[in-house]
Amino acid sequence: MMWALMGAVLVGLIGITVDFTRAQMLRAQMQNAVDGAALAAARDVMTDAEREEAVLAYFNAEMGELAANAVLTINDDPDSNAVTIGARMPMPLSIARIVRDEDWVLHVSSDAERSGVNVEVALVLDVTGSMSGQRIIDLRTAATDLVDTVIREQQTPYYSKVALVPYSMGVNVGEYADEARGDIVAPADVDGAAWAAGAARNITGITRANPAVVTSSNHGFQNGDTVYIRNVSGMTQVNNRVFTVANRTTNTFQLQGVNSSGYNSYSSGGIVTKCLNTTCSVEVLLDDNDFAVNDRVYFTGVGGMTQLNNTLFQISHISGDTIRLAGAHGNFSAYTSGGDAHCVVAQCSYFAFQNASAGNWRVFPASDCVSERVWDEEYTDASPGTAYVGLNYRSSANACPSAEIVPLTTNGDFLTGRISALQAAGSTAGHIGLAWGWYALSPNWGSLFSGSEQGASYSAPETLKIVVLMTDGAFNTGYCNGVISADSNNGAGSASERINCNATNGQPFTQARALCTAMKNQGIIIYTVGFGLSGDANAEDFMEDCATSEGHAYLTGNGDELIAAFNAIAASITQLRITR
């Protein structure tokens, strides 16, 4: 009987030992599965659904059929930046059931600290005219894919932001223009304009004599008056000219110093009008005159006297708020209302310059695009409060792109909406796009952008700043005084559209190289994508030189390769985000 009793105890002890060994093995398997699941959950910022899917996928793969009996718990604590995975699973006893007739419940857990960094990406995209057709369609697809990959729905504990910088002949900065390049000087309001001092009089005859004598019944002119004659038939040599009245009578007067003996014979008609001044020039009354003699002025929106509109004049005389326009004399329509008088120097709403082809005067309007910054801060990210960027006075042949910049944002839908609307037009000022990619990331530009749009400090922990620069050709558009320079080779418009001075900062690729170096010195990672460069050695060399490394430069020949390059860059950014 003693042996029988001891045998039962021994069997129970053996059973417990066997089941304990089984439990240890199963618990080790569970622990390995939970450890791996925790690492999978912590490897990137995910939504709750994505995290649960990753945990289950790893745990089920490790546990096989046994996973069906397990209960998993997932605890994501953003404050501690950790993920805890717990698992409990019953293990039926075998021989040990003699001692205890219930399952053992095994418990394991694992903590994993989430790795990762914040990412700020500036997407600098070429939307020039050569990108038209299928190319711009492919670019929209590629850029959309990158945004969808880089911007994650879950923005804690690490955020992912993207800025959009489309460029062609410049960068359209939209609402940020005034603060970036300085306020535009407002035009003066036109309160009145005239050239004639009285009513027009009919001419009934002009003699062929020295001096010529004009007949005009009850004309009312006095000796020394300046008059303007037009619409004469026969003696057309007197039309559209200014004369001085001499030896006047009630119905006649001489044209002082005019010998009409060799003119055609007068036949009929004609109108003579007394002028306001000795040059018969138009005088314009402004609400507030800040002009000086010899300044140039450009009018828009004048009612009635429309001959003033969209024409450049020089000021010959000023009296208070009244300016006199040199060369603007006679036969202007009567002023009715409105109008603006614009200055035409830097910071004005229009800019007058002599072109590169023949030195002719041209007038271009200011746009919301900007050009490169010049002088001491041309290759820095100093704030616009320290040094404005360049103005952009654009021609109709090379208009400012319609697509505006988008500062850093986590709103992927907004970005992809803007990307889907990109249109191709204009020449290539890639160095300006590159500079604005830097500004979009720079903490020094916080005065321009607000709140979450601002780039983090360069010393911010766990933060990467990345520029992705894409172009399909050579940078060919530089600026002098806000106008495309004489030495630009952009094919958009002729030399008549360019100013008669070379680019202030030198060739665009030279400028771009200096910017790339300065950005990399600040720790910014640069990816470059050349699209269909067709063996342009200068452009290809630049793309490789500008990139952070050879592996960060992509040269693509068609749309599929462009999309693949952007996808590779997006994957690289995601990997950097996890492992840095």
Answer yes or no: do 79 and 226 share one domain. no
pLDDT of residue 32: 85
β-pairing, 553-556 vs 525-531, is parallel
What is the spatial distance between Cα 82 and Cα 62, in angstroms, rounded to a whole number?
Answer: 22
pLDDT of residue 580: 46
Name every residue whose Cβ is closer than 8 Å to that of residue 101 and which is 6 or more positions away in sequence: 93
In 292-442 the beta strands, taken as DSSP E runs, fall at 296-300, 312-319, 322-329, 340-343, 350-354, 361-365, 369-370, 406-409
pLDDT of residue 578: 56
Answer yes or no: do 125 and 98 share one domain. no
What is the spatial distance between Cα 193 and Cα 175, in angstroms, rounded to a whole number?
Answer: 35
Answer yes or no: do 85 and 128 share one domain. no
The pTM score is 0.81
Of all residues in the chain, the percent with pLDDT exceeding 70 is 92
Q: Say whether 175 sits in a helix, a strand or coil.
A: helix
Answer yes or no: do 122 and 109 share one domain. no
Query: Does residue 377 form part of some domain?
Result: no
Answer yes or no: do 145 and 191 share one domain. no
Of all residues in the chain, the percent with pLDDT exceeding 90 is 72
Query: Does residue 166 form part of some domain?
Result: yes
Query: Does residue 534 form part of some domain?
Result: no
> For residue range 199-240, what is the model confidence (pLDDT) as tens digits?
999 999 999 999 999 999 999 999 999 999 999 999 999 999
Answer yes or no: do 209 and 333 share one domain. yes
Q: Name the residue range of residue 14's domain.
A: 2-113
What's the mean per-residue pLDDT of the chain? 91
Last residue of a domain, one of 69, 91, 113: 113
Query: Does residue 365 form part of some domain?
Result: no
Answer yes or no: do 409 and 483 share one domain. yes
Two tokens, residue 489: 């080779």
Answer yes or no: do 223 and 261 share one domain. yes
Query: Does residue 373 form part of some domain?
Result: no
Burial class (CB in 10 A: 0-12, 13-18, 19+), 171: buried
Query: Does residue 453 form part of some domain?
Result: yes
> For residue range 289-332, what is the model confidence (pLDDT) as tens digits?
999 999 999 999 999 999 999 999 999 999 999 999 998 888 89
- CATH value at residue 467: 3.40.50.410
Phi-psi group of 50: left, alpha or beta (phi > 0 → left; psi -120 to 50 → alpha; rest → beta):
alpha
Domain count, the chain: 3
Q: What angle do CA 416, 421, 423 make, to 5 degrees?
A: 130
> For residue range 253-274, what is the model confidence (pLDDT) as tens digits?
999 999 999 999 999 999 999 9
> For residue range 169-192, what is the model confidence (pLDDT) as tens digits?
999 999 999 999 999 999 999 999
Q: Say whether 252 sits in a helix, a strand or coil.
A: strand
What is the spatial distance between Cα 39 and Cα 52, in angstroms, rounded to a whole number?
Answer: 12
What is the spatial distance between Cα 289 and Cα 341, in angstroms, rounded to a whole number?
Answer: 10
Answer yes or no: do 55 and 86 share one domain. yes
Give the lowest-confidence range in 10-24, 311-325, 355-369. Answer: 10-24
What is the spatial distance between Cα 316 and Cα 313, in angstroms, rounded to a whole number?
Answer: 9
Answer yes or no: do 226 and 171 share one domain. no
What is the spatial distance between Cα 307 and Cα 303, in angstroms, rounded to a whole number?
Answer: 10
Question: What is 427-486 written as a DSSP string?
Answer: ---HHHHHHHHHHHH-GGGTTTS-GGGSPPPTT-TTEEEEEEEEESS-----EETTEE-T
